[in-house]
């Protein structure tokens, strides 16, 4: 990226990897990080409550009344539509405690307490953002509101993983023209950022000084070719242990609905992981975990329950309670990697990662 500025996206519990753990790694790194990106006001409050100091940009919708009265320091809010901007312009931001609100008969707020915003531009996603024909009105509102500081503008690519690059090229062309207009209207505009992980390959063509890095930050992508080119390496594995061992005879069935019938004598085990712990129910008789120090692939048998799943440990040497189990492997080609699980479930790596619940303990491994 130009200037080597990457804004890590930490939304949705850092894509399931652990908000605080990932933020701590990045805040203490030597990388040139202009700000962390989160989705919600809740995430921003949580980071500040834990003492993180890195500037924040909240990309998701925040109610205008919350923006106007927020006491979060060094935090910018994304304006996601003209309606939000119009409503916000009617709000009266709260002056700092002890400050005289009336100056020469006019409401006034010091520059240090003005609200920093990033204005989202819809260049084709048709989800959030103001439309190009609304830009003039938006500029007028921002210039006319002394409580606002336009810190940045942003957009999002919706088709940057498509081998047909025509739609993305159209978005980039429109975006570049819009950036030129805003830089003329707001000479002190600090940030222009337009990206998604797949969109970073277009960085040389984009008028931007920051790249937002989401799923790729964690070594994941649903674009295999891009992942290989960028040499992405997944960083997350999920571990548990065997909690029970049984010997089955041919014809005996396993779990709810008796959906799996043993075709011969076999050894099975339970693990304390079900769909509450993020093991997708679509993995029922349709996936693997790895058992023991030899990482023996073991098939998931029958239905995945809420907190328990059964696996075939017949090929594991001396399986006993407490034997280590890798539920998710960080090696992309393994039968239980996030990428493989996503394919088996007919979904994308994003969904698999973010459904790992926040209550499960995260451990940072050097």
Tokens of 316: 């594991």
**Residues 298, 312: contact at Cβ < 8 Å?**
yes
Active-site residue, selected from the candidate residues 41, 191, 256, 275: 256
What is the full DSSP assignment across 205-272? GS--SBEEE-GGGGT--S-HHHHHHTT------EEEE--EEEEE-TT-EESGGG-EE-SS-EEEEEES
Q: For residue 261, what are the β-bridge partners?
A: 253
Tokens of 256: 């709810």
Angle at 316 between CA 355 and CA 289, to 5 degrees: 10
**Residues 69, 19: contact at Cβ < 8 Å?**
no
Q: How many CB atoms lie within 10 A of CB 190?
A: 16
218 is catalytic: no
**Residues 313, 298: contact at Cβ < 8 Å?**
yes
Please list the active-site residues: 256
């Amino acid at each position: 990226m130009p200037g080597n500025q990457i804004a890590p996206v930490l939304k949705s519990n850092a894509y399931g990897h652990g908000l605080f753990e990932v933020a701590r790694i990045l805040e203490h790194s030597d990388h040139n990080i202009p700000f962390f990106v989160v989705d919600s006001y809740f995430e921003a409050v949580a980071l500040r409550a834990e003492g993180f100091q890195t500037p924040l940009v909240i990309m998701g919708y925040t109610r205008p009344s919350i923006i106007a009265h927020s006491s979060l320091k060094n935090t910018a809010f994304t304006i996601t539509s003209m309606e939000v901007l119009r409503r916000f312009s009617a709000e009266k931001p709260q002056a700092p405690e002890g400050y005289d609100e009336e100056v020469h008969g006019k409401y006034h707020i010091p520059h240090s307490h003005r609200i920093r915003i990033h204005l989202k531009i819809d260049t084709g996603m048709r989800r959030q953002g103001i439309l190009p024909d609304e830009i003039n009105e938006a500029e007028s509102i921002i210039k006319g509101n002394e409580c606002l500081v336009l810190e940045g503008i942003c957009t999002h690519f919706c088709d940057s993983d498509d081998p047909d690059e025509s739609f993305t090229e159209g978005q980039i062309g429109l975006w570049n023209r819009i950036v030129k207009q805003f830089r003329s209207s707001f000479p002190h505009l600090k940030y222009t950022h337009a990206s998604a992980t797949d969109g970073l390959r277009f960085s040389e063509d984009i008028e931007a000084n920051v790249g937002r890095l989401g799923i790729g930050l964690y070594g994941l992508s649903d674009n295999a070719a891009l992942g290989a080119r960028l040499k992405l390496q997944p960083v997350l594995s999920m571990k548990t242990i065997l909690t029970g061992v049984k010997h089955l005879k041919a014809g005996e069935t396993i779990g709810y609905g008796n959906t799996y019938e043993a075709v011969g004598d076999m050894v099975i085990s339970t693990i304390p992981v079900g769909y509450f712990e993020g093991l997708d129910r679509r993995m029922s008789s349709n996936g693997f975990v790895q058992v023991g120090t030899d990482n023996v692939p073991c098939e998931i048998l029958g239905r995945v329950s809420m907190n328990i799943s059964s696996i075939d440990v017949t090929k594991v040497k001396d399986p006993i309670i407490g034997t280590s189990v890798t539920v998710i492997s960080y090696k992309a080609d393994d039968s239980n990697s996030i990428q493989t699980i996503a394919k088996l479930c007919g979904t994308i790596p994003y969904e698999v990662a973010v459904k790992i619940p926040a209550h499960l303990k995260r451990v940072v491994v050097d």
